[in-house]
Structure 1
Amino acid sequence: MIPRFRSALTSRIPASFSLAWFSGAARPANMSSVKDIVESTIEKNPIVIFSKSYCPFCSRAKALLKEKFPEVEAAILELDERDDGADIQNYLATKTNQRTVPNIFIKQQHIGGCDDTTAAVNSGKIAGLLKA
């Protein structure tokens, strides 16, 4: 039954239809500007959080960093609220080998996601990086 359903479904899609428009692949024309945005943001800010507004792990990490380091303003890029958000996430996956959010940098050093950030706060690593 499944093969018949798949055949019926695909037979109605025009040959000229491309799934590339719906893939997560970054568009090469944007990669240079995306790279510039990411690298510039990381370079200019002591705390950078690449996030999605609806993500509970992102909310937890943002709250933790705000609570523990209220004197340090974080640059937060909500990828779901940006036209280039998917491209930024693809670039970050290439840069960090991490596809998920939050994707956090402290003083230009990649920390990781929520669990990594919590561990780094608890160990004193983030406090040390911010003092340096």
Structure 2
Amino acid sequence: MAAAKTKAQTLINENGVVVFSKSYCPYCNATKQLLNELGAKYTALELDQVDDGSAIQSALQEISSQRTVPNVFISQKHIGGNSDLQAKKRDLPALLKEAGAL
């Protein structure tokens, strides 16, 4: 668990925008689509495609108090899931610019 938490935290710390996702999840796809439409640079980790995905998902529960995906971080701040990101649509360009993702 410690290794998974370190991996997740390192991704969050080293990237302006991180989406913890699952490849088959429609909400994850909607999140990535919105970021793509805005031209954002982001790192997506597909938890269903990595060996330690389940452990990382548990670690995210500790880090963000959210276990569900997508789990989005911008500028090392926990944004939430797809509905949280969609609700911030108007502020998103400024947040992404601040994160160096635009």
Show the counterpart of 2:43. Answer: 75
TM-score with structure 2 setting the length:
0.89
Counterpart selection for 1:45 from 2, 6, 15: 15
Distance in 2 of aligned mates of 1:50 and 1:77: 5
Distance in 1 of aligned mates of 2:35 and 2:97: 15
The structure with more radius of gyration: 1
Show the counterpart of 2:86. Answer: 118
User: What does the per-residue CA deviation read over 1:37-91, in whole Å, with 9 as the maximum and x for residues that have no partner?
Assistant: 11111111111000000000000000001111x1x32110000011100000001
**Structure 1 residue runs of 4+, over 2 Å off?**
126-132
Match for 1:128: what amino acid? A
TM-score with structure 1 setting the length:
0.70
Match for 1:64: what amino acid? L
Q: CA RMSD in A?
A: 1.1
Distance in 1 of aligned mates of 2:33 and 2:97: 20
Percent identity over the alignment is 46
CA positional deviation for 1:33: 1.4
Counterpart selection for 1:127 from 70, 93, 97: 93
Show the counterpart of 1:98. Answer: 66
Show the counterpart of 1:85. Answer: 53
Gaps of at least 5 residues in structure 2 are none
Structure 1 or 2: more helix by fraction: 1
- The number of aligned residues is 98
